Structure 1
Amino acid sequence: MQRAPALDAAGHVVTRDGVALFHRDWGGGRDAAPVVFLASWSLASDSWAHQMMACRAAGLRPVAYDRRGHGRSADPGRGYDFDTLADDLADVLEALGIRSATLVTFSAGAGEAVRYLTRHGAARVSRLALVAPTTPLMARTGDNPDGIDTAVLDAFARDEMLRDWPRWLEDNGRAFAGPDVSEPMLAWVKGMALRPSLLALAEFHRTLTRTDFRGELPRLGLPVLVVQGDRDATCPLDLTGRRTAALVPGARLLVYEGAPHGLFVSHAERLGADLLAFAAG
């Protein structure tokens, strides 16, 4: 049975299907302009700490939450499709009374935001920033020949993630974060990635790599900023960011030279400044 989204006694947003989502709302009051952050696959709202601090210092209202099965949110064992995840975002915005938000996403969070806008409309969102997005389509198909072979995607899930996820993180964390991030900072990121359930990781990975947003991106109808590094090994710029920006009318593409996928740590200060400028219009 579906219910109206609400805050429970512990301060979690309880979604329409009864899943408790941990969130952080760093104030500025309900009159402050809200900036809502969506984390990547495997990561939690903690990942946006530096950019949220920049928003708070600028007098904005930074808000972030942990996706179901991630971070401190409940792990219901279901709902890792983009329709359900978009509904979760709708429930967070409604429960917290958020309107005219700047929505900021990292990596797979792009799909949640795009599906939210095409499924629920833009009454509560005024602009959208997509940082290192997975959109429009990661997998190779007949009409997307430059995508990643689905056999490679399945092998990663089967042979790397499900067999020894901690080892994969240890071997690949540096490429994600870039050469200048400290070892303690990298350990912090890897620790976050160890918190989701394997079921959430596996099912959401399949969702984010197979879902085709090419028909939805042209329908967004609001200001969009795409930010990505040109050395992104996780989501190659030419496959994701450039194509996403090209599909959204009027979108701006901002490319960080020499930057990896994990811009929220590799270029934390610069990204924060660029997001603040975008939120200011």
Structure 2
Amino acid sequence: MTTITTEDGTEIFYKDWGARDAQPIVFHHGWPLSADDWDNQMLYFLGKGFRVIAHDRRGHGRSSQTDTGNEMDTYAADVSALAEALDLRDAVHIGHSTGGGEVTRYVARAKPGRVSKAVLIGAVPPVMVKSESNPGGLPLEVFDGFRKALADNRAQFYLDVPSGPFYGYNRPGAKVDQGVIRNWWRQGMMGGTKAHYDCIKAFSETDFTADLQAIEVPVLVMHGTDDQIVPYADSAPLAVKLLKNGTLKSYEGLPHGMCTTHADVVNPELLAFIQG
């Protein structure tokens, strides 16, 4: 396996395909998945002549099953270590869901020249949990329910999520793909329970307002209006208002996992933004 080792001894697994002198695109996966969630996009952009890179976040996939560092500052530091190790320059960073939070924090702190553009897809910024400053957020009890379901029976929980809200398979008339459900479950069960448990707090309670305001590069914010995991109204429209150079693209009726269910829509949009 191809890995880097961070300062605290964590091994981060990554894939790195394509010509080393081609423009790099770095993909950041959602919770509780792995780099494999980007297989479709990796092959698509490899075929367009890009260098494509995707890593397993610490505690996820084939990376170390860490019991510490499962929060956004360390996630971003791990990305920085990967970018340094591979000497990535003018990279496009694309993040889905939790990965969108990771992208936001990393890009806000990245060294000059490392990042050219960023994309947030169904992403968690600015902040998910409900509070006085975020009255439209989801109640903390929702995320407590996630933690309880994970602790009680992770294997069943990781079937229930993709079988229902993640891909919109709980909607009337939805065409359910069992392979997609099983692949979600496979990726989730590869990771560590402790890291996944901690990550729920990381993706739900981290406030990315200052990060969004600090980003200088162009950012495309893509979000399905029928996202049942990261509700549209409290995420994408608010995030794009905080960005200096943000563009919002909404997709009527598309679910949280639209990169999988509607790759034929998402991929050309990403290509147009990257080449534009």
**TM-score of the two chains, using structure 1 as the length reference:** 0.92
Aligned-partner SS, 1:238: helix
Matched letter for residue 78 of structure 1: T
User: Aligned equivalents of 1:181 and 1:24: distance in 2?
Assistant: 29
Greater Cα offset, 73-82 or 125-134 = 73-82
| Structure 1: stretches of 5+ with no match in the other structure | 1-9
Aligned length: 270
Structure 2 counterpart of 1:86: 76
1:3 is matched with none
Aligned equivalent of 2:187, options 189, 192, 195: 192
Which of 271, 275, 278 is residue 266 of structure 2 equivalent to?
Answer: 271
Residue pair 2:218, 2:245 contacting (<8 A) in 1 also: yes
Q: Quick one: which amino acid aligns to residue 59 of structure 1?
A: G
Residues 236 and 122 of structure 1: is their aligned pair in 2 closer, same or farther, counting only changes over 3 Å? farther
| Pairwise CA distance, 1:162 | 1.2
Do structure 1's residue 173 and structure 2's residue 162 form an aligned pair? Answer: yes
Aligned twin of 1:72? 62
- Of 76, 87, 103, 1:97 maps to 87
Deviation at 1:102, TM superposition (A): 0.5
SS in 1 for 2:208: coil
TM-score by length of 2: 0.94
Deviating beyond 6 angstroms after TM superposition, the runs of 4 or more aligned structure 1 residues are: none
Matched, 1:248 2:248: no
Residues 26 and 54 in structure 2, CA contact (< 8 A), matched pair in contact too: yes
**Equivalent residue, structure 2, for 1:15:** 6
Deviations 1:173-209 (A, max 9, x none): 1321233352112211221122211101111111111
Tell me the CA shift for residue 279 of structure 1: 1.4
Whether the 8 Å contact between 2:5 and 2:11 is mirrored in structure 1 is yes
Structure 2 match to 1:125: 115
Q: 1:180, 1:266 within 8 Å by CA — same for their partners in 2?
A: no
Residues in 2 aligned to 1:217 and 1:182: alpha-carbon distance in whole angstroms: 35
Post-superposition offset of 1:274: 1.2
Structure 1 residues 28-177: aligned runs within 5 Å = 29-158=19-148, 160-174=149-163, 175-177=165-167
How far off is 1:121 after superposition? Answer: 3.8
Question: What is the Cα-based RMSD across aligned positions, in Å?
Answer: 1.4
AA partner of residue 21 (structure 1): I
> Could you tell me how far apart the structure 2 residues matched to 1:280 and 1:274 are?
10
| Partners of 2:159 and 2:181 within 8 A in 1 | no
Secondary structure, aligned partner of 1:216: helix
Percent same amino acid among aligned pairs? 33
Match of 1:6 in 2: none
Q: Is the 8 A contact 2:226 2:254 kept in 1?
A: yes
Deviation per residue, 1:91-131 (Å, 9 max, x gap): 11111121100100000112211211233344201000001
In the alignment, which of 209, 214, 218 is matched to residue 214 of structure 1?
209
Give the corresponding residue for 1:7.
Answer: none
In structure 1, how many angstroms separate the alpha carbons of the residues matched to 2:128 and 2:36? Answer: 26
User: How far apart, CA to CA, are the structure 1 residues paired with 2:90 and 2:154?
Assistant: 38
Shift of 1:30: 1.7
> Residues 224-260 of structure 1: CA distance to partner in whole angstroms, max 9, x if unpaired?
0011111000000101111111211231111111111
1:50/1:269 contact within 8 Å kept: no
Deviates further, 33-42 or 212-221:
212-221
Unmatched runs of 5 consecutive residues or more in structure 2 = 169-173
Give 3-state SS (helix, strand or coil) of 1:270's partner.
helix
